[in-house]
A and B are shown apart, each in its own frame.
Chain A
Amino acid sequence: MKNTINTDLLVACQQCDALYDKPHLKQGQLAKCHRCGYTLIERKVDSINRSFNWSLASLIFMLPAILLPLMGITLAGQFHQASLFDCILVMIDRGFFMVACLVFLFAIAVPIVRLSGALYISYCFKFNRLRPSLLNFFRAYHYLDHWAMLNVFMLAIVVSMYKLIDDAELSVNLGLLAFILWLICSTMSTSTLDQDYIWEKLEKAFPKKRLARENS
């Protein structure tokens, strides 16, 4: 009895499990849940091209943002500057391994993995090179949804600059500019990647596998 319901024609809300007929949306439209107001489906405009370009740009800014010094201070004739990577090295040096690990994960590793994932997926879609491994790849991309904290790190930079500005002479370096651009590009690349569209395409591209499993 249950198997006769065609699941392709329906959509359920992630937050409250309410069931709806699947809406047909144009690019740029989004459907919201009646009951809890959460977004059901969103069709983003020109998603593949945009996320390809944004993630490519952010991968270019990535290296300077990590390696160039973010800011420096001058106090009593002494000058010292630090980059994002220095933060991790110093924390390891002082024995705070857990903090160093987590800063590395949240501010460097997770953003990089997500960006290269977005780049790879949009590259494959752009040049029509779909392959079954993309399913696993895109699923892994979802696991890291909550754990990229570049925006928090940006606020931390602003706060510590504000703290230091009274006591010492503060200088801003190229690294900060690269970091801001990296933040903007990576935020844009995640917000332009259209998940529903990609999943639907992937499902259409590999239908045989699915039928085989349902019959077995």
Chain B
Amino acid sequence: MKTAKQLGLTLCPKCHKLNSLTADQQQCSRCNSLFYQRKRNSLQFTLAWSIAALIAFIPANLYPIMIIYQLGIPDGANILSGIGELVDYGLYPIAIIIFTASIIVPLFKIVGLFVLVYKVHTGIRLKPDKHSKFYHALELLGPWSMLDVFVVTLMVTVVELGYVTSVAAGPAINYFTLTVIFTMFAANSFDPRLLWDKKAADEALLTPNNLTDHLTNNLLEKRDRNDP
């Protein structure tokens, strides 16, 4: 199995066109976008965004996210106590959905990205096939943690009955939104191809690479025919 990097080719991340590598910052020959062979400083950016998300996640859980006014009496609830109330009322499916979207998914994403960065950096017990699937799942889950923000927005807008009942958003909603945005940036700045690169580099250290596979032979033949 040959990778594009080994043959001096790069893939445009926007239009998926293969370019032969000419410069550090490459311009795609098809769509004119500028890009690098691998996302630049991918691990640092991922780590930085994840830490930022983790920091924003703390006030998001401490402050109230939704304040319900019933007959003028405020009743604030943060994310966890809101879920607790839902469980008390017996709304289990909603409690599970909210819990998954607003607690499990962000934490899972942050921890998962930490693990991925650590594994790429050290190469310990790296299984690229499993880990790239894991990364793909993380990327898909990302937008779904915006769910809680949208729910609070809808509740605030719809439940507006003056003195009888009204709902206000708490300060936690800002921090929670920041958490979600930061985790999405973190997932976007990770480059799954680094997993395979690390694995290939480790294998090259262990075994001398004297076997060329079918594809490389083909390319070599074509090249010979082109250069008489």
Chain A contact residues, CB within 8 Å of chain B: 1-7, 10-12, 14-21, 34-38, 70-73, 75-76, 78, 80-82, 86-87, 90-91, 94, 96, 98-99, 102-103, 106-107, 135-136, 138-139, 142-143, 146-147, 149, 151-153, 155-157, 159-160, 162-164, 166-168, 195-196, 199, 202-203, 210, 213-214
Contact = CB atoms under 8 A, between A and B. Distances in A.
5 contacts: A20-B215, A139-B31, A149-B146, A162-B94, A163-B94
Given A6-B222, A94-B156, A159-B98, A152 B164 contact: no
Interface residues of B, number: 78
B154 A15 contact: no
Interface of B: 1-5, 7-9, 11, 13-21, 27, 29-33, 86, 89, 91, 93-94, 97-98, 128-129, 132-133, 136, 139, 142-144, 146-147, 149-151, 153-162, 164-165, 168-169, 173-174, 177-178, 181, 184, 188, 192-193, 195-197, 215, 218-219, 222-223, 226-227
Contacts, number: 225
Contacts of B192: 15-16, 36
A38 B136 contact: yes
Contacts of A139: 14-15, 31-33
A158 to B, nearest CB: 9
Contacts of B165: 75, 167-168
Given A11-B18, A163-B91, A213-B29, A18 B1 contact: yes
Contacts of A210: 29-30
